[in-house]
Structure 1
Amino acid sequence: MAELSLTNVIKRYGALEIIHGANLEVKDGEFVVFVGPSGCGKSTLLRMIAGLEDISGGEINIGGKVVNDVEPADRGIAMVFQSYALYPHMTVAENLSFGLRMNGNPKEDTEKRVQHAAGILQINELMQRRPKQLSGGQRQRVAIGRAIVREPEVFLFDEPLSNLDAELRVQMRVEISRLHKQLGTTMIYVTHDQTEAMTLADKIVVLRAGNIEQVGAPLDLYDDPANQFVAGFVGSPKMNFIKAVVTGKDTAGLTIALAADKNVRLTLPLAASLTEGTEVTLGVRPEHFGDAGKGDADLTVSVDVAEHLGNTSYIYATFGGEQLIIERPESRATGNRDSLTVSLFAKRSFLFDSTGQRLR
């Protein structure tokens, strides 16, 4: 196991800078997830840690050793890719042992490591099969097993579940989480799926356009996002954003009126001081809407579609031309309505300025 740190890491392709001075500390045994939209640089950052991409500036440190110029095989890492990359003509056992055999590892130790990995991943009965005889989930287990047998200090996962169907993704999330608890090894995992990030991570790193926007525990990012991008990216369904304007400031906080209906006013307990008329954005998570008359302000929305999932319903609605998602418990009758009145709660709401920064 090993700690890992990035210090002002930069990646350029010619004059184009892709990663802009990334700084990150990963503790020994931590499970860290890089998450962000496509093209944000998360896989590039992972590949630089692995040594598959050269860095243009900064420093990568693994286990107390600067590895900028160290070959991938000598970094003490093992990587699991999006594609399984298994040798089709080899059995599972041969695929698992291939790397060790090529490195001249003693046969007895190789067999011991392979059996150990197979036991952890519960693939003992698959050892004599070839990849074409395996399901997608089984192939991914073998790919992970090939990393385990190397006994690395750091595991790197590059969107390993994206080729699996929904049910297998859930199953493999549990498997990977269990694997981390069992091995206690430092793991870095890349995904664009924020549900995977929330369920797997000890620490989430949110990236956008080559910048690290925020780092923290999953629920810390959910409860206390640094800006509008993080607030909208972390959480499923995502946070609702409603245009508003500042109408005043006093000892109670900052008072705003919704742009689509100036009669809907809300005073948020914030220290920020903005001039009257300043445009802001109100953020409300779907589950933070309340019953009419129960909150600090009411608003009426036009109901478009209601999705009933049993113990909860998601109401897709429109307010002032903006799309909202409202979560209601067991609200089966809502689908028959054209409109719905719900409450806003000041203490459960977020406010962002015109640049997307969180107001506090």
Structure 2
Amino acid sequence: MAGLTLKNVIKRFGALQVIHGADLEIKDGEFVVFVGPSGCGKSTLLRMIAGLEDISGGEIAIDGTVVNDADPADRHIAMVFQSYALYPHMTVRKNLSFGLTMNGNPKADTERRVAHAADILQINELMDRRPGQLSGGQRQRVAIGRAIVREPQVFLFDEPLSNLDAELRVQMRVEISKLHKQLGTTMIYVTHDQTEAMTLADKIVVLRSGRIEQVGAPLDLYDDPANQFVAGFVGSPKMNFLKAKIEAATSDGVTVALAADPGVRLKMPISSRPDIGSSVILGIRPEHFVDAGAGDADLTVDVDVAEHLGHTSYAYAAVSGEPLIIEQPESRHAADQQQLTVGLPAKRCFLFDAEGRRLR
């Protein structure tokens, strides 16, 4: 097992710079998830750690050893790909053992490692089948098993569940979490799925346009996002954002009025003092609305669509053309509502300036 450090890591493709000075420390045994929208650089960063992409600047160290110029095979890492990358003409057993055999690993040790991986992943009954005879979930187990037999210091996962259906994704997510607890090995996992990130990670790294926006434990990012981008990206459904203006400022906070309904005002404690009349963004998560009269202000919205999921409902609504999502317990949500009045609790709201910087 090993920790990993990135120091001012840069990646350029010709004149185009796609990673801008990434600094990150991953402790031995941590499960770290890279998240961000498509094209943000998360897979590129993973491939540089693996040695599949050269770095243009900075330093990558695994277990204290700089590996900038080390071949992928010498980095003591194993990578699991989205596409499984199994040999179709080989049995599961041969897929698991092939890399070790080609590297001249002793036969007895190879058999021990293969048996150990098969036991961990519960695929003993699949050992004589070929990939074409396996389901998607079974193929992904084999791909993970091929990484396990290498006994790496670091596991890398590049969107390994994106080809699976929803039910299998949940199942494999649990299996990967159990695997991490069992092995205790450092794992780095790339996904665009916030649910995977929130449930799997010890630490989440949020990327945007090749830059690290924030690093922290899942609930820390959820409760204390550094800026509007992180607030909107972490959490599902995502945070609602409503345009507002600073109406008044006192020594203990500011009063904001919603642009969509200027009669809705909230007093919020913030340390900075934005100018009176300046534009801001009020953020509130769908699950943080309360009953009308139970918050610090009431907001009436027009309901476009309601989704009823049994234990909860989502109202997809708008106020003066600004969209928002409201989550309510199923028992409080009528199926035919055209309008809905909810409460805004100031203590659960966030405030951002026009550039997305966090004010509160």
TM range, normalised to the smaller chain? over 0.9
Note the 1:2-17 alignment, pairs <5 A.
Answer: 2-17=2-17
Deviation at 1:335, TM superposition (A): 2.6
- SS of the residue aligned with 2:254? strand
1:206 match: 206
- Check conservation: 2:3, 2:63, Cα contact below 8 A: yes
Deviation at 1:320, TM superposition (A): 1.6
Does residue 102 (structure 1) correspond to residue 109 (structure 2)? The answer is no
> Following the alignment from structure 2 to structure 1, what is the Cα–Cα distance between the partners of residues 296 and 71?
59
> Following the alignment from structure 2 to structure 1, what is the Cα–Cα distance between the partners of residues 307 and 291?
18
> Following the alignment from structure 2 to structure 1, what is the Cα–Cα distance between the partners of residues 286 and 346?
14
> Following the alignment from structure 1 to structure 2, what is the Cα–Cα distance between the partners of residues 58 and 201?
26
Note the 1:74-113 alignment, pairs <5 A.
Answer: 74-113=74-113
> Following the alignment from structure 1 to structure 2, what is the Cα–Cα distance between the partners of residues 122 and 241?
45
- Check conservation: 1:254, 1:272, Cα contact below 8 A: no
> Following the alignment from structure 1 to structure 2, what is the Cα–Cα distance between the partners of residues 82 and 140?
9
- SS of the residue aligned with 2:263? strand
Deviation at 1:47, TM superposition (A): 0.1
Does residue 193 (structure 1) correspond to residue 202 (structure 2)? The answer is no
- Check conservation: 1:308, 1:331, Cα contact below 8 A: no
Unaligned stretches of 5+ in structure 1? none
1:321 match: 321
Deviation at 1:251, TM superposition (A): 2.8
1:22 match: 22
What per-residue deviation string (whole Å, max 9, x for no partner) do you get for residues 200-245 of structure 1?
0000000000000000000000000000010000001100000000
Does residue 48 (structure 1) correspond to residue 48 (structure 2)? The answer is yes
Deviation at 1:334, TM superposition (A): 2.6
How many residue pairs get matched? 360
- Check conservation: 2:77, 2:153, Cα contact below 8 A: yes
Note the 1:149-188 alignment, pairs <5 A.
Answer: 149-188=149-188
> Following the alignment from structure 2 to structure 1, what is the Cα–Cα distance between the partners of residues 260 and 331?
26
Amino acid in the other structure paired with 2:14? G
Deviation at 1:275, TM superposition (A): 1.1
1:60 match: 60
1:72 match: 72
Deviation at 1:252, TM superposition (A): 3.1
Deviation at 1:270, TM superposition (A): 1.1
> Following the alignment from structure 1 to structure 2, what is the Cα–Cα distance between the partners of residues 187 and 260?
45
2:286 match: 286
Note the 1:207-356 alignment, pairs <5 A.
Answer: 207-331=207-331, 333-356=333-356
- SS of the residue aligned with 2:100? helix
Deviation at 1:333, TM superposition (A): 4.5
Unaligned stretches of 5+ in structure 2? none
2:142 match: 142
Give the alignment's Cα RMSD to 1 decimal.
Answer: 0.8
Q: Could you tell me the percent identity over the aligned residues? A: 79
- What is the TM-score of this pair, normalised by structure 1? 0.99
> Following the alignment from structure 2 to structure 1, what is the Cα–Cα distance between the partners of residues 309 and 99?
47
What per-residue deviation string (whole Å, max 9, x for no partner) do you get for residues 10-54 of structure 1?
000111100000000000000000000000000000000000000
Deviation at 1:330, TM superposition (A): 1.6
- What is the TM-score of this pair, normalised by structure 2? 0.99
> Following the alignment from structure 1 to structure 2, what is the Cα–Cα distance between the partners of residues 359 and 156?
36
Structure 1: 4+ residue segments shifted above 4 A: none
> Following the alignment from structure 1 to structure 2, what is the Cα–Cα distance between the partners of residues 204 and 334?
37
- SS of the residue aligned with 1:335? coil
1:119 match: 119
